[in-house]
Structure 1
Amino acid sequence: MRKIARTGIALSLVIGFSLSAGGAAQAERERDRRAQGGTKEDGITAGVSRVRITGGSSKGGGNTVQLTPANPGWKAPACWYEPKTSPKELKEKIESAKPKKWKPAKKTGTIFDDLNETHNNLADGLSKQVVRLYEDYYQTDKYKNYNMAKQGKGMFWEGVKNPRRKDDPEADKCSRHAYWVDEGDPAPKNVPLAVSPKVLAEYAYEELPIPRTEISLNPEGKQTVNLDTWVWADKGKFKPVSVTASLDNPAMSATTTAKPVSLTLEPGTDEARTFPASGKCKLGEPYSAGRKDETPPCGVRYLRATSGNGAYPLKATLTWEISWTSTDGPGGELPAGSFSTTHDVTVREIQSVVRD
């Protein structure tokens, strides 16, 4: 049985939109609102960004993680509009989306031959309608001949998706038609989510090369009831890291920096004390000989031994402050972020014999 060809035909327009032909009713809806731009219901989705991420390195090598923002309601933008397509590129790509002449395969004598031919004829007809609507919009309805007279004097701005949030429904918000902006002019104020240094900084937040939280303990291995355990993070590994998000035209960039500021300990049992009492300390200090009588600046004291093969889940959370600077001003602060790891700690109790 021959598979029906071109099921769910889709036109890819390099203006950054992907148009799915779902039926004649959809073409009618597109015709009615062609001057207002696309919507999620039209099947229009944002394209690929030209924003570049550069710089940034981590002592953790490839073992990097993403921070959890301290503000649970905050997220980097799922999409935005940016300058992407010239008049010439737009024209070429819309015209290249026109369906090619379909040639039916050799008949095999099955009912699927007729169904296949009918389907493809309808799909080609619908595809032509959709492309024609876009041609009309950029040739006569909104612009004149794709703004070819302004070639080199500006760009069409298009919706693009944050690659980390491309499946998020929020990414469908940037689905209006590409719109023209003259070179040197800002994006229209009535267009939300136009790219800006702050948008770039927020996008860079998710690209920071944060090393996985790791801690050192002294004593190492099994701990002892009522004996202080020193805890610290390696200051040579946990240093400020930065990345820069940038566009070439118009020239725009933002550098986002993360700085480790505190280590928070949760012993995993109420039968323990932390140092300091809040459990929140700086990155801690490595234990060294001669400090056994000192209270650890960052640590824990277990008051009860673990039983059998059990262990206490010692949770260590490293918090990072996030800030940004840009080519367009001083920048500002973004929500702090954190990453946690858990270490299984076994605690023993040393028995002593008292003789009369």
Structure 2
Amino acid sequence: MRRPFIVSTMCGTLILLAGAPALAADPIATDSHGTKGPDRRIGAVAKVRYTSSGGPAKGGTITSVDPNWTPPPCWYAPEWKATEFRDFRNRLYFTARHDPDAPDGALKDMSDENRSYAEDDYNIDKEKDGMWWGAQFSPDATVAEQAKCNKPPFWVENGETPDVPNVISPEILAGLAYKQITVPGTKVSLAPGGASKVNLPTWAWLDKGEFKPVSVTAELDAGPLHIEATTTAKPVSLTIKPGTDDAELLPASGTCEINDDGSIGEPYAKGKAGRTPPCGVVYERSSGQGTYDLRATATWEITWEGTGGAQGTLPNGEYGNDQPVKVEEIQSVNR
């Protein structure tokens, strides 16, 4: 089966070709290329590696509360030594030449590109002085997002930072690490036990230790370049939605702040029936034969720090779960 791949031309447009097997990239794998392009295994040393600290064995990834922010879809990073780049370009041309589905003009564009690179013999005489940089793409980047990094491969001397947009940086790595953060689920404890009762408080809480900071470090090593960033998610609150409009939230905002010990809310115990819980809900109508879907969503504050003392913040993240809640009327006893 033919699979599409994308290459950039000297004029900066994107040419769609078919035929070469694309490398699939696991979003948590050590190779972050996700390149929808020809086999880049010749060289291709720009690998972003991820390590996690404090994350749960099971959970889910956070979603930004800012709908206008997404993790970086593409970036430029060191990929090839000079001889590796020459071999890659030759292989790319060979693939296109033997692809009957290649668009008109694609072969000529590649030939012109290779001729331009060959004028300086692909900088092979500078093999130890620098590297060829190329565009890298997030595995789920759309074609439109990939167009943001349509600059052809370019040569960069060791120790220099190219003056082009989307060059790999601690901030970009922080955004990539954000995408890898896994946080625990938010199934809350509810009490009193059994079905909740109409017009009586249902206590909700999460024990301490269940929610603690989670960090992911993204780092890149390519030749003499080492760059990294650690993104940390810190739990700050839990928001409850009762699953029905016929309910009163406690507190009224539905947002329960995290306690100093890392717990949320307060566990129910005998003797507390007459008290108002710091985190909970009062259902005002029975759920009948069914249940209400109570949703508990944790909010995580996101900060990062990286190479050279760089640091900053990213939009808060959210992750939540639904859980069924049976609500019954209080049974009266006639004597």
Distance 1:173 1:336, change over 3 A: same
> Is structure 2 residue 232 aligned with structure 1 residue 257?
yes
Contact kept in structure 2, 1:256 and 1:323, CA below 8 Å? yes
How far has the Cα of 1:166 moved from its partner?
A: 3.1
Q: Greater Rg, structure 1 or structure 2?
A: 1
Partner of 1:285: 266
Match of 2:32 in 1: none
Q: Separation in 1 of the partners of 2:162 and 2:275?
A: 60
Q: Which residue of 2 aligns with 1:229?
A: 202
- 1:76 is matched with 71
Counterpart in 2 of 1:269?
Answer: 244
Residue 327 of structure 2 aligns with an amino acid whose one-letter code is V
CA shift, 1:219, in A, is 2.1
User: Residue type of the partner of 1:77?
Assistant: P
Residue 58, structure 1, aligned to residue 55, structure 2:
yes
* Corresponding residue number in structure 2 for 1:88: 83
Contact 2:78 2:133 in 1 (8 A): yes
What is residue 199 of structure 1 aligned with on the other side?
A: 172
CA drift of 1:84 comes to 1.3
Q: Give the Å deviation of 1:148.
A: 1.4
Choose the corresponding residue for 1:317, options 289, 292, 297: 297
Task: Determine helix, strand or coil for the equivalent of 1:206.
Answer: helix
Show the 5 A alignment for 1:1-356: 18=7, 34=10, 36=11, 38-40=12-14, 42-43=15-16, 50-59=47-56, 61=57, 63-99=58-94, 129-140=108-119, 144-163=120-139, 165-167=140-142, 169-188=144-163, 191-249=164-222, 250-282=225-257, 283-307=264-288, 309-353=289-333
* Cα distance change of structure 1 residues 296 and 192 upon mapping to structure 2, 3 Å threshold: same
Which is helix-richer, 1 or 2?
1
Q: Deviations over 1:211-259 (max 9, x none)?
A: 2222111123311112211111233222110000111131110000001
Supply the distance in 1 between the matched residues of 2:206 and 2:231 (Cα, whole angstroms): 23
Larger proportion of strand = 2
Count of aligned pairs: 302
Is contact 1:46–1:175 with CA below 8 Å preserved after alignment? no
Question: Residues 77-112 of structure 1: CA distance to partner in whole angstroms, max 9, x if unpaired?
Answer: 110111111111101222234539x99xxxxxxxxx
Task: Tell me the C-alpha RMSD between the 2 structures.
Answer: 2.9
User: For residues 149 and 212 of structure 1, what CA distance do their matches in structure 2 show?
Assistant: 55
Gaps of 5+ in 1: 1-6, 20-29, 104-118
C-alpha distance in structure 2 between counterparts of 1:99 and 1:186, whole Å: 32
2:211 counterpart letter in structure 1? F
Which residue identity is paired with 1:147?
N
1:80 and 1:127 map into 2 onto residues whose CA distance is 24
Q: Say if 1:209 and 1:129 are closer, same or farther in 2 by CA, change over 3 A.
A: same
1:296 Cα deviation (Å)?
Answer: 0.9
Amino acid of the structure 2 residue aligned with 1:50: K
Q: Is the 8 A contact 2:62 2:182 kept in 1?
A: no
SS in 2 for 1:264: strand
Normalized against structure 1, the TM-score is what?
Answer: 0.76
TM (norm. structure 2) is: 0.81
- Mapped to 2, the partners of 1:243 and 1:333 lie a distance apart of 14
Query: Counterparts of 1:286 and 1:73 in 2: how far apart (Å)?
Result: 38
Matched AA of 2:128: G
TM-aligned CA deviation for residue 126 of structure 1: 7.1
Q: What is the alpha-carbon distance in structure 2 between the residues aligned to residue 149 and residue 223 of structure 1?
A: 76
Deviation at 1:202, TM superposition (A): 0.6
CA, structure 1 residues 333+225, in 2 after alignment: closer, same or farther (shift >3 Å)?
same
Deviation at 1:127, TM superposition (A): 7.4
How big is the shift at 1:192? 1.2
